Structure 1
């Protein structure tokens, strides 16, 4: 979402809820490390969050066309991250991706950042993954179950996000978007995007299940990994992120994404300009100052962004450190 869709009250509420959930996520991840939870893998969870965040950032740059619509979509990555990191660590990682996209690349509004975290990270990591994906696999990560769970969870996560965008826009009340018509375009196009994300997620998870099963949180939780080679796994993921960000992003579709397409179909015009009030002007000023590569205007954007995600997650690592235990 851009700032043009978000009013100050919605900005405040969405920001407060997002910060509260991220604070809870940091506490949960730290608690797991203190309890020696095998799914957290103690010292390994932070580098894994970093490389997975870089991978998802690079993958999000590849917009795929939706045939017959003139629109495009990209993966959100919440289900993939949750399957590897667990939902709370995935929430932190995906939120880090959204913050870097907002501040460094001016992708998504500064005032809309809390909404975007709720719509993309919370809906997929804290709702679709635990309520849909995990019950469907039930510890049985067969190819069929992975595909079924990935497809359904991705579709549910995207549809919940589309509903949330529509509700936030309506509650903001600063645009002329008619809610019913807007929703009529948002839900079908995000259904198709969700199917595309589900297939991509399933393909990646099946490859991980075959070659590096120790990366999957459900396998780590049961202790069924045997001897792990974490260095090679992390190096492989880092290389994949660099390849995606540095090369494959060039073939991304130039069609408008699902939200832009829905706005254009609803109003017959491009997305409206942000309101001219002090808060919107301040948000725009902050973003102009921090956006070193607005609109990904360099071929190195994918590599730079992937590196920024790694630094951001490692910079947060002190928050996840195990507490000292009293003798």
Structure 2
């Protein structure tokens, strides 16, 4: 559900960039008190998992479309809402800058649609109440499915509103929303099942991770996350380096809906603002569409695997580095002598 720049006007793109920047700043501020330093490496590893996971589009039978995970609920359940929002922001930033997946002008929309609703709204208001009476495999699965479907539905509806506000007449509101909502309901159900399975796995290995996020508390010093992080890191490598090769070639839910409403999944905008953002992205995206720029068939599989591994690694560094930076600033201020 990554929006391209052509789907938003400069005004809406600017507003959503500002709104997402505000949410990022607030999340960073909250992390100064809420971020558990023991979870900072996990923040990086989970960023890598979500990056790799989003590369894998799964086919929606009978539709000719595909979907991929968003990952916001999974991140929030393991990290807490505010670190999760920063982690998914890192994922979307790396995708846009280096892989041309989602537009730079539309980056604020994508962060809001895929991160804000899941991490900062649905997780605290829906997921937490469902599991607050205790974690069980059934409760985790139900909470995951309900929360992911709701978060993805909010994001899909926001895409429609953002295109409407941008004056994209090729995508009339009623027809576009009629296509977007049902397909993302199906995608959300699949992602919810996957999210539930991963959370059950993590809970059985180290229940303290989910409990600390639920209670907004810090892990005790004796709790080790090494086995969980190693398992998740291996999972990210397998996803990005191997399973990504088998991703569905069908258009994702947004592109599918656009194709049926407007007759094309690639609208164009040629004003100076769009051209400027396109020029920046063209300069920074050294692996566009997760492949080598040569585009040769012989190198496509290698390009996909390389993109998956490199992108996951860079996201790990950015997401984890963000956590360490926040912790370092907090630690420095805490140790400063009072005037």
- Same fold by TM-score greater than 0.5: yes
Q: How does 1:9-88 map to 2 (within 5 A)?
A: 9-32=11-34, 40-42=35-37, 44-88=38-82
The separation in 1 between residues aligned to 2:213 and 2:103, in whole angstroms, is 35
- State the partner residue of 2:104: 110
Q: CA deviation at 1:177?
A: 1.0
- Number of matched pairs: 318
Match of 1:229 in 2: 224
- CA, structure 1 residues 163+195, in 2 after alignment: closer, same or farther (shift >3 Å)? same
2:249 to 245, 254, 257: 254
- 1:143-191 Cα distance to aligned partner (Å, 9 max, x none): 1111111010000001000110000000001442111000000000000
**Alignment of 1:95 onto 2:105:** no
- The correspondence of residues 1-327 of structure 1 with structure 2, limited to 5 A, is 1-32=3-34, 40-42=35-37, 44-216=38-210, 217-218=212-213, 221=216, 227-273=222-268, 275-297=269-291, 298=303, 299-316=305-322, 317-321=324-328, 322=330, 323-325=333-335, 326=337
Alpha-carbon distance between aligned partners in 2 of 1:218 and 1:139, rounded to the nearest angstrom: 14
Per-residue deviation at 1:255? 0.6
Q: Structure 2: how far apart are the matches of 1:54 and 1:110? A: 21
For residue 222 of structure 1, report the CA deviation from its aligned partner.
Answer: 6.2
CA contact (8 A) 1:260 1:270 kept: yes
- CA distances 1:57-79 after superposition (whole Å, capped 9, x unpaired): 11111111111111100110000
CA contact (8 A) 2:205 2:228 kept: no
Q: Does the aligned pair in 1 maintain the 2:160–2:177 contact within 8 Å? A: yes
State the distance in 1 between where 2:218 and 2:92 align. Answer: 32
Q: 1:246 to 1:139 in 2, by over 3 A?
A: farther
Looking at structure 2, the residues matched to 166 and 255 of structure 1 have their Cα atoms a distance apart, in angstroms, of: 21
The normalised TM-score by structure 1 is: 0.93
Change (3 A) 1:227 1:46: closer
* Structure 2 residue ranges without an equivalent (≥5): 292-302
Structure 1 SS opposite 2:334: coil
Distance 1:262 1:161, change over 3 A: same
* Deviation for aligned residue 1:268: 2.2
Closer, same or farther in 2 for the Cα pair 1:227/1:132, shift >3 Å?
same
Distance 1:232 1:202 in 2: 19
- For residues 247-289 of structure 1, what are the alpha-carbon distances to aligned partners after superposition, in whole Å with 9 as ceiling and x for unaligned? 111111111000000001112223211x111110010000001
Instruction: Please report the TM-score for the alignment, with normalisation by the length of structure 2.
Output: 0.90
d(CA) in 1 for partners of 2:227, 2:334: 30
SS in structure 2 opposite 1:324? helix
Deviations 1:110-150 (A, max 9, x none): 10000000000001111111111111111511111111110
| Alpha-carbon distance between aligned partners in 2 of 1:238 and 1:181, rounded to the nearest angstrom | 41
Q: Distance in 2 between matches of 1:224 and 1:168?
A: 40
Contact 1:26 1:320 in 2 (8 A): no
What is the SS of the residue equivalent to 2:40?
Answer: helix
Superposed displacement of residue 240, structure 1: 1.5
